[in-house]
Every structure is written in C-alpha cells, then in structure tokens.
Amino acid sequence: MPSGTDREQVDALNTALYEAMERGDLDALSALWLDDDSPGVSCVHPGWRVLSGRGEVLRSYALIMANTEYIQFFLTDVAVSVAGDTALVTCTENILSGGPAEESGALGPLVGQLVVATNVFRRTPDGWRIWCHHGSPVLAETDDGQDDETPA
C-alpha cells in the first residue's frame, strides 16, 4: 500500500496519470484505472461523447497516444478532496502538443490548449484507482476579459 495521507496518494496518482500520457505508456496508464469489474468507469475527453467501461476508456487513450507525437501537461489550480473511499481532483490542464512529424522527421507545429478536468478516484484494496475523467475545453478570452464565444 502506498505511503502518505489519502490526499497525498490521490495527488500522486493524479500526477502519474498525466506522466503516463506524456510518455505514451498505455500499460502504466491502464494500471491506474479501476478494473473491469468496477461499474461506472467513464471518461469524457474534450469534444468527445461519454465513453463507458474500462475497455472503451483505455481504447480512447491508446488512440490518442498513437496519434500524438508529443504532449506535455502543466497542471495548475489542482485541488484534491477526499470523502471516505472517494476522492475528487479538479485541475487545469495546460497542454502543449505536437502535430504530426514533418517529412524531414522534425516535430510538427506545437499547439497549446487549456482544459479543465475533474478526476474521480475510488479506494480499492490495492490503493486508489481512477474511476472517471472528464475534461472540458476552456474558451479563449479576449483582451476585454470576455469569452470569444460570448455574444455582445
């Protein structure tokens, strides 16, 4: 069993999720999620429909990893709450990702994106595991402080 308080364990697991994504390590990422017998495993990537069940969730990550040359997460506004055997992490994912490699082998253009995320964890006999991930894009703000999508 991992050491540290519940909050520290959940925070470390949350960080491990993003580190596995950065490395493109599907095995490490898979080990972080609840097992096949756990009901309610779900994921919403920005712009995607709700994915339900461990298999569908892990396939989505495999697809993202296979089609992303480079990705890096800078997490900000991280807040961890624990209530019994359930934990909630909210954070802002400051994402830098690389497009497809050029013919020369150089990394394609880098793109930045902000996503607010909610990650829900459940305590198991083997420690905390991810139960649900939900990410929503953050709309860009204009210089006057209004969202680009906000009608005038």
pLDDT tens per residue across span 30-81:
999 999 888 999 999 999 999 999 999 999 999 999 988 889 999 999 999 9
Which of 110, 88, 89 is closest to 98 using CA atoms? 110
- Distance of alpha carbon 102 from alpha carbon 117, whole angstroms: 31
- Distance of alpha carbon 131 from alpha carbon 140, whole angstroms: 29
Percentage of the chain surpassing pLDDT 90?
A: 72
pLDDT at 92 over 80: yes
Which of 88, 133, 142 is closest to 115 using CA atoms? 133
| Residue-level pLDDT at 150 | 47
pLDDT at 132 over 90: yes
- Average pLDDT value for residue range 129-135: 98
User: pTM value?
Assistant: 0.85
Q: For residue 136, what pLDDT band results from cuts at 50, 70 and 90?
A: very high
